[in-house]
Structure 1
């Protein structure tokens, strides 16, 4: 993913008035990287990542995925960049687990056999195999988060973007989601976690991009970013966050 001089505004018209949520941001996200996009509420992090697959259209600048500008092929962008919203309920479109996970592949016009394969693989990846007929309304918060991840994985994206994925989850559910993200990273899927609380994923990440007032304030490996992060009003691990991260093996 390539982001070049992207600016996003809300309200106003053209270059006049309104609120600037993202201000002249440029960054490159290589395939397979585990990236944290950190910042306080209102720092622009959600708006920024939603430009990655065209959910937000920048007022200025350019976003490209696999070399193709997002606006020229939204289907390709949304296939390559899977998005999991802060509240999974905002993206569920079906009553049951299997039907919801199948929704994206169905819209790609895939064969029934291929759709079934993707649904089975995606649910297996999040430890929800065999739960296709479960009603989403009956699931716990952690299970809903995992189904939302499965729905994105069924599109077989190059990058998976998760917006505050740990909000409202208890400790076992948080650990389960982190382990799924570790596994995805090992398998070559790029992972982007948007958060103001880095404690769950700091030890897994390759890189931290910190935003303040819509601009990039930090772009560094976790050990180098650690000292500056508290100044962005985010939560970091206690102790020495610069210690080597746990093995993914």
Structure 2
């Protein structure tokens, strides 16, 4: 469970404990409260600059709030960032920002190695994570040889190897061609079926709206929509968020993209 209570984040101001006016600066997240239960597939949607990325980066302590708090499984992130980062796996918008090894297997093993696990457990986690993203047997592949979609899957595997309760993906489809997008959607569908909590941050819901249990729409750092997809979809275009044509027409599309990019 991720609990967000009265969260406010500012950029460019004094900030807590800093010199200057702590209330100055640009408000990126403005008094947001929400709960994300285990096993739920949540789409956090909004236009660029709406506060989506800043919000999810508070879930595991990558961004500290100016006001309010985030707790993961009942423990405040401020009290135990390591526990939060273990429970909340993060996949950045550009996988190059988190890939740290020259090979697929080495990169996926990096997180478990830093937990101090024994070799047998690390190998088990790496194998399971690569299976989950359909990359079994590719641990020796060089990262430099991979396509964009394959790098995205390696980044997802690296997060899964930490065995998180929630997997957060920030704009996971940016720059991917159609086959790669379908492959990532398929992996997310499998994770949802396995009971992993999935949070997808996006301005374009055409790939994932049919998978989502819930949509949280942000505008100017505030929650403007929080509802199941069939109820949320009417308000999302007003937030500059793209939705599948079939949802706009009141139909029930199968998971994945329903119209060309």
Pairwise TM-score range, normalised by the shorter structure: over 0.9
Structure 2 length-normalised TM: 0.93
> Is 1:243 the equivalent of 2:244?
no
Matching residue of 2:13: 12
Q: How many residues are paired up? A: 248
CA displacement, residues 53-90 of structure 1 (integer Å, 9 cap, x when unaligned): 00001011010000000111111100100000000000
Distance 2:247 2:106 in 1: 44
User: Is contact 1:223–1:243 with CA below 8 Å preserved after alignment?
Assistant: no
Distance 1:217 1:152 in 2: 29
1:151 to 158, 168, 172: 158
Distance 1:165 1:156 in 2: 19
User: Is contact 2:149–2:180 with CA below 8 Å preserved after alignment?
Assistant: yes
Question: Equivalent residue of 1:23, what SS?
Answer: strand
2:141 to 110, 134, 140: 134
Distance 1:17 1:57 in 2: 16
Structure 2 gaps, min length 5: 16-21, 256-261
User: Is contact 1:204–1:245 with CA below 8 Å preserved after alignment?
Assistant: no
Structure 1 gaps, min length 5: none
**CA RMSD across the alignment:** 1.2
Stretch of structure 1 that moved more, 83-92 or 129-138? 129-138
Matching residue of 1:166: 173
Alpha-carbon shift at residue 239 of structure 1 (Å):
3.2
Structure 1 length-normalised TM: 0.97
Distance 1:202 1:12 in 2: 36
Question: Equivalent residue of 2:187, what SS?
Answer: helix
Stretch of structure 1 that moved more, 168-177 or 233-242? 233-242
The runs of at least 4 aligned residues of structure 1 exceeding 2 Å deviation read 239-247
User: 1:211-230 maps to which residues of 2 (within 5 A)?
Assistant: 211-230=218-237
